[in-house]
Structure 1
């Protein structure tokens, strides 16, 4: 019987998750059919009810990847939330695991995880992020919760979170409180200077939403007439991870790199978090070989050298 898995979200046609997962399962020799399914927030409860019925009818679901705008709502649709996902209230991975004998949920238990945190941490570490960094997060939605958790795992003592509307950062505030991580919620128009001084910046903004900041950064590091060349002037020394990977390079990534900073494409974060999902969906855990990352890189055109 062919196993099933899918990525859920709205919109979903742009997702690179099918290419990543299919490449991994082909390499591993696992017969797992992975598809993309468009599901809105309003449709999620009914969709999950159909999935549970599929399981009762014997269909072999093994996992769900969950993207925006479903990460918070999925918490209410699973039987159990584990690890950092429990603290964040944000699920991006659902694993279908055998239930213990007598479990009232049936023979299969739906367990929610968050692999975004591991994806961010691993991508930043491979880019040379320092320990105990000064951290900045752009955006206050579901992915910002994972970004705050990642900064805590890297040893950051606190973080500045910049949002367009300081009254609408509930997910970031809740995540910080649950983690015991001090954060300051600040308006986006103050972000550029703080970014320039930070060791790590994580942008969780949608594609092109950070474009205005790119212009501000370029202005901060522009060379006035008669001033020394770039090689003789101070520049950025921090690492920027831009979770938006299409189009790439983003304007903010280009501005950051031009000023001397290191850039981590969101595609790297996506690959690292997908590897963790493959571990859950196949049941192989740590037995998933390292070369799986190579085939996943090839599937989406990411250079292997970054890993």
Structure 2
């Protein structure tokens, strides 16, 4: 067994992004840096003048709002919105521990996908850490429903997602994607999928304080039966791929990578948060296991994005 693949990973250095929030339209700088073993994803706000909030875990118990994005309560009336694309990139690229710092109330939307974050993670590289990698192994199925929509976590020997969406739109319609995780598959098949919205909803959303920063540069925009973006779609089924991207980010709020299968129909941020709450409602639903007990994990991690050898950017702690 490749022993490096059973150990935790963090970033080998800091990566920084400047942009603005898709809902708030406010400028923001986001920095992602290394974190110590067994810390998971931590988040804090830069309040200016060298003052920071205390780092807290990116955890579903801190979810304060799930309307159109996932928002966390960081304590003391401080929040962080639209964190799901950032955490999706971290989880999708195989990062275990990271510190996220932002100087405004919403993460930058960038191009509407997780791709800018994923590319930066590849460029800075990952560093292996002494601690063994851990997973949340699903022992019993947990399902949450909202009318005909549902989200479920089920036992499965691997890390898989099976998502289906169904929109009353000829452009989108009904789409389904089944995905077995590896960093390469995430990078190539998921990370570039952008968020999307309808022109018909824009006025109502903006009156409610949402989508103030939305544009063709960061969202797939649909009007009647047309896509308004000049370049069209990045994937034929980009809509369901973005929902899968969101789900990976939301599920990372369980605190550890999930060893099991996630299924969803007409899902979204609210159901994603509720299924995690359901999972943790009973100790009989899951157990925490080490990577050495899950031989598929190291094989999955060895499947890296094309053109990058794992040892080129994985640095071993001596």
Give the TM-score, by structure 2 length.
0.22
Where is the strand percentage greater, Structure 1 or Structure 2?
2
The higher-RCO structure (CA 8 Å, 6+ apart) is 2
Specify the structure having the higher radius of gyration (Cα). Answer: 1
1 or 2, which has the higher helix percentage? 1
TM-score under structure 1 normalisation?
0.22
